[in-house]
Amino acid sequence: MALNGGRFAHWRSIISFKLAIALACIALIGWFAAAFALDNKQVFLPGETSVGHYLFETSCNSCHEGFKPVTNDTCMRCHEAEMAADAHGTEKFRDPRWAGELARLEVLTCTTCHNEHVHMFDRGVHLQPDLCMTCHEGIITGDLKSHDGFTADGCWTAGCHNFHDHRSISTGFLRQNLDQPPMLPVQVLPERTVLTESETAPAPDLAQEFLGGGS
């Protein structure tokens, strides 16, 4: 009898466990269904939204089509103008000379570098702080003497480099501007002379100011 009682308790515990799993699944499905029915898709956010895209949390369809990954075309709807002079643009990496770098990092896809809903660093859309090292690690490991001792996350976090616009530190730009002074001249405001038509300020008249002179 003790043996049969033990088996019964064992099966009862298994049934209770399976029942608990089934109820949890039903509750989860009901929760998701309610989110869709009430158009409250924020419950599906996998993590923190970046500062630049925070307002889009109330309109997932602004960026997402169903549960598909965000496409380059979607990103360019907002960022086309600022990408017009992109130094790391698609034309660069379609050149066979850069095929090796493209194999290391698929930079032709925006979301390769810009990870939304995955908090990494407090700067715009989330980026890996050491992202530049995927292709430029040699810069801080001996290839460029001026950068000895620099950290892997210092390229853009220190404010020196911008991935999409680094014209000011490119070799071509430097060659074209070798004869320029190292610093721009200090800007000075010109002297201004203001001539007044009235000796004294007029008395304040709110009716004249805001109501066009009416009472």
The pLDDT tens digits along the chain (215 residues) read 444 555 656 556 666 777 778 777 777 777 666 655 555 566 667 777 777 787 787 777 888 887 778 899 998 988 888 888 787 878 788 888 888 888 888 888 888 888 788 766 655 667 777 888 888 889 899 888 888 889 888 887 777 888 887 777 777 777 888 888 877 788 888 888 888 777 787 777 766 666 555 55
pLDDT (0 to 100) of residue 173:
75
Tell me whether residue 191 is in a domain.
no
Reduced to 3 states (helix: H, G, I; strand: E, B; else coil), residue 89 is coil
What's the pLDDT score for residue 107?
86
Same domain, 17 and 55: no
Q: Are residues 52 and 34 in the same domain?
A: no
Provide the phi-psi class of 142: left if phi over 0, else alpha when psi is between -120 and 50, else beta: left
For residues 114 and 61, membership in a common domain is answered with yes
CA separation (Å) from 79 to 76, 130, 194, 201? 5, 23, 43, 49
Give a yes or no: residue 173 inside a domain.
no
pLDDT, residue 1, reads 47
Same domain, 27 and 122: no
**Domain span holding position 135:** 47-167
How many domains is the chain built from? 2
Residue 174 included in any domain: no
Q: Which of 172, 211, 201, 11 is nearest to 87 (CA)?
A: 172
62 and 27 within one domain: no
Residue 67 shares a structural domain with residue 162? yes
Question: Is 115 found in the same domain as 32?
Answer: no
Instruction: Establish if 126 belongs to a structural domain.
Output: yes
Q: Is residue 140 part of a domain?
A: yes
Question: 202 lies in a domain?
Answer: no
Query: Looking at the structure, do residues 23 and 128 belong to the same domain, yes or no?
Result: no
Residues 74 and 133 both lie in one domain: yes
Residue 113 lies in a domain: yes
Do 64 and 132 sit in the same domain of this protein? Answer: yes
What pLDDT shows up at residue 26? 78
Does some domain include residue 134?
A: yes
At position 32, the amino acid (one-letter code) is F
- Contact between 97 and 104 under an 8 Å Cβ cutoff? The reply is no
CB contact at 8 A, 114 and 149: no
Residues 136 and 83 in one domain: yes
Report how far residue 31's alpha carbon sits from residue 50's, in angstroms, rounded to the nearest whole number. Answer: 26
